[in-house]
Structure 1
């Protein structure tokens, strides 16, 4: 039974499917006002509170506005949207699912949310599914030698990174290297002492939830690594992380290191990197820490 089927079959379920495509719903998310946005990707979960920026899709520029919840959606991979009414201690929600019925992204309303906008989304008119721009699928060293961060993220968005993972071993000459997840955790903790800005990407089914902000705190509780940045919290069960890779792609400041985490199904669950404009000192510190992690792994 899929996540979608389980929700609809739950005893006492109050809610229903929205009669339009997820892409239309995505364009309306910014109308909701203050919400709590959650994406779960295997061993990784992220929650952020605030207002949505208008989500981007493959082919759009990468937008990550400080103070706003940023999503990048792959409409062709998304299948259904369900709203639920308030029940017991849970507020109304809006839940996206992929074409297989697996959970993609969840929005929880807050007392500051716009309930009229929520009702408008529930009653959005039917719309036909538009074709998306094709996502490039070449996975050769020659392709990735010129690949940029936008291509990297859209490649992961296309299929949760399965195809990208298949090519990582062949990219050692480009500086790609498998690293120890616990060393990655130690590196992020060090960066939090410096309050360094970091871009965090959690890769759900047909959805990337992206946050850029100062890394305020990093802590390990049991086997779970928690990262705090502004209103955003990212939790990683390291026991569910099968592989952690240091990769290099072209960004605003030239070749930029990223950490890509994969679960035991070889799906990408999270990416940590630097995007957008940044002070040279920030980039130098980021790259120094990435080099230290690589050398120690």
Structure 2
């Protein structure tokens, strides 16, 4: 059902008055529109449309100083404070490789950009063609507000005020039958990996979904575990201060937290990390599968815990903190292996 912007604006304002604590993403779902379409109702007031020169915009985000980066998927939100540093782009992906903010950017998915004022918070927000959020950058109390205002003025799009989103797409992968997979060749290729980043190439080569790959992996390299194993590992990393890497992503951005997690706070269906520089919000009740996964590398085996939803979409990956050329932490490896045996 098509809804004019003016009609949607009225519905949005009425809904917010009746439900003041609801977030825009949830309101969009309830009103059966996209988040970008709701933001567009504020154009000229609280929202400014940005030109689709996203790479140049991102290269200037460093000038904002200390900000909060937010990336989410359907069931997990990662929020990391820091400075955007070492920003670069290739035809395949963009990189932000700061000590605190670490991102992989897939710019072909980026389609709309806005600056947004909401409840005295200001942000840059980016969306795909369907109007689903890809990445958001929030100012903090110590951000450079003047640089933000300059950036918004420089990249304001005054020529394309209309926001037209594409229909929602079914992203669920239709798996081939297991019997149609070259399982032996796939398992040999898995065991021959030199880097965990090669895994995505194996999925494409052998036409596998991620969870199907985990099912058909060579012996000892994967094991299905329960949610409690993930929680036990997170709690142990918190109490023993074992540094981790937590990957949360969507089709346009992957955000990586590297470091300790300390304050774990369960709240209803949410598993939360509430640390000063890093917040994580994970919907426990939407996790359909949890796996302990081992991928070979030239630095030795790399162990991860991976969480998936009912459609086989990845929600979160957690590794021990490491860098290329350095073996993973023994404390992490022992913890994951001992917990997954339980």
Instruction: List aligned pairs for 1:164-175, cutoff 5 A.
Output: 164-173=210-219, 175=221
- 1:79 maps to 111
Cα distance per residue 1:129-160 (max 9 Å; x no partner): xxxxxxxxx9933443316233458999x9xx
Aligned match of 1:207: 253
- Aligned equivalents of 1:265 and 1:150: distance in 2? 23
For residue 249 of structure 1, report the CA deviation from its aligned partner.
Answer: 2.0
Check whether the contact 1:62–1:150 (CA below 8 A) recurs between aligned residues: no
Q: Is the 8 A contact 1:193 1:217 kept in 2?
A: no
Correspondence for 1:129: none
Q: Which has the larger radius of gyration?
A: 2
Could you tell me which of 151, 154, 174 is aligned with 1:121?
A: 151
User: What is the CA deviation profile of residues 139-193 of structure 1, one whole-angstrom value per residue up to 9, with x for unaligned ones?
Assistant: 933443316233458999x9xxx93334221114251122111221012101211
Q: Identify the residue that residue 291 of structure 1 maps to in structure 2.
A: 337
Q: Which residue among 122, 140, 148 is the counterpart of 2:195?
A: 148
- State the alpha-carbon separation in 2 of the partners of residues 7 and 154 from structure 1: 37
Query: What's the TM-score once normalised by structure 1's chain length?
Result: 0.80
Q: How does 1:2-13 map to 2 (within 5 A)?
A: 2-9=34-41
Q: Which residue of 2 aligns with 1:223?
A: 269
Listed one character per residue, the Cα deviations across residues 228-270 of structure 1 (whole Å, up to 9, x for unaligned) are: 5561111212001111121122457311101111123321121
The answer as to whether partners of 1:45 and 1:235 remain within 8 angstroms in 2 is: yes
1:50 alignment partner in structure 2: 82
1:64 shift after superposition: 5.0
What secondary structure, in the 3-state scheme, does the structure 2 residue paired with 1:20 have?
coil
Residue 235 of structure 1 is matched in structure 2 by 281
Secondary structure of 2:120's aligned partner: coil
Match in the other structure for 1:104: 134
SS at match of 1:150: helix
Higher-RCO chain (CA-CA 8 Å, sequence separation at least 6): 1
Q: Which aligned segments of 4 or more residues in structure 1 are displaced greater than 6 angstroms?
A: 58-63, 153-156, 277-280
Offset of 1:195 from its aligned partner?
0.4
Q: Given the alignment, which residue of 78, 86, 90 partners 2:120?
A: 90
Hey, what's the Cα distance between the residues in 1 that align with 2:200 and 2:60? Answer: 23
Q: Structure 1 residues 149, 4: closer, same or farther in 2, change over 3 A?
A: same
Matched residue SS, 2:61: helix
SS of corresponding position for 1:201: strand
How high is the TM-score relative to the length of structure 2? 0.70
Query: What is the rounded CA distance, in whole Å, between the counterparts of 1:153 and 1:90 in structure 2?
Result: 41
Residue equivalent to 2:176: none
**Deviation string for 1:41-91 (max 9, x for gaps)?**
12211112221224466767987543x21211011122221112x34x231
**CA 1:174–1:17 in structure 2 vs 1: closer, same or farther (change >3 Å)?**
farther
Of Structure 1 and Structure 2, the greater strand share is in: 1
**SS of equivalent residue, structure 1 residue 254:** coil
- Name the counterpart of 2:65: 33
